[in-house]
Amino acid sequence: MKKQINHIISELEAHLPYTIFSVAFGIILLGLLSFISVLLNADNFPKGAGLLFHVFHPMHMLFSATATTAMFWRHEKKLLKAVVIGFFGAVVVCGVSDIVIPFIAGTLLGVKMHLHICILEHPQIILPFLAVGIFTGLIVPKTTKSTIFSHSTHVFISSMASILYLISFGLTEWVHHIGAVFIFIILAVIVPCCTSDIIFPLLFLKDNKKNKSKPVE
């Protein structure tokens, strides 16, 4: 148990810096989009953010399923188990990251948020990306770099999805809360993403293999 806790802490420490920068970059992009919207006198920016959310959220599922499946498959070659772990690791954790934490964040900031569970309302959007992500996780090269690449991309996509959910489902005046948004989105990304990509799949490995796994560098 102590080794597992130390491993989790080391993974969070390793991934926190570029999580912070990914969230910061996501906020910059959102600021630019908001600026362009004002210049064009566009009154439907939240609706546009909602459309973008339905692009980034499925993409988040794709990269999360890839990273989760690849991490497990690299250590243990059990197909059905890898598929199940990839599926639930992506669905549950991405839901928490993109929807639940932003929903709670907006509520704590005094905004009436709308709870939109995308996989239940639009399964035809989500399921193809999940399937392709799991398949990709099974066929990526057996190198550490492949999981690092999918994880780093996952972090940026997750940042955008979480921010866009906040804007499109309640927090339209986000600039007035930019500091709080920055903190909440870091939390929405770092804990669920590391859980999905690294911690979740490693928890289901056999003890002898789990102990031999090394942190992603």
* Total Cβ atoms within 10 A of residue 126: 23
The answer to whether position 22 is within a domain reads yes
73 vs 217, more confident: 73
Across the range 95-111, mean pLDDT stands at 93
The answer to whether position 159 is within a domain reads yes
The answer to whether position 215 is within a domain reads no
Query: In this predicted structure, what is the pLDDT of residue 209?
Result: 46
Query: In this predicted structure, what is the pLDDT of residue 52?
Result: 92
Q: Which residues constitute the domain of residue 28?
A: 2-210
Question: Is the per-residue pLDDT at 3 higher than 50?
Answer: yes
Across the range 44-59, mean pLDDT stands at 90
The answer to whether position 32 is within a domain reads yes
Query: In this predicted structure, what is the pLDDT of residue 11?
Result: 65
Query: In this predicted structure, what is the pLDDT of residue 217?
Result: 41
- Reported pTM: 0.81
145-165 pLDDT per residue, tens: 545 555 567 778 888 999 999
The answer to whether position 140 is within a domain reads yes
Confidence of residue 189 (pLDDT cuts 50, 70, 90): confident
Across the range 124-133, mean pLDDT stands at 96
Split into its structural domains, the chain has a count of: 1
The answer to whether position 90 is within a domain reads yes
The answer to whether position 164 is within a domain reads yes
The answer to whether position 216 is within a domain reads no
Mean pLDDT of all residues belonging to the chain = 81
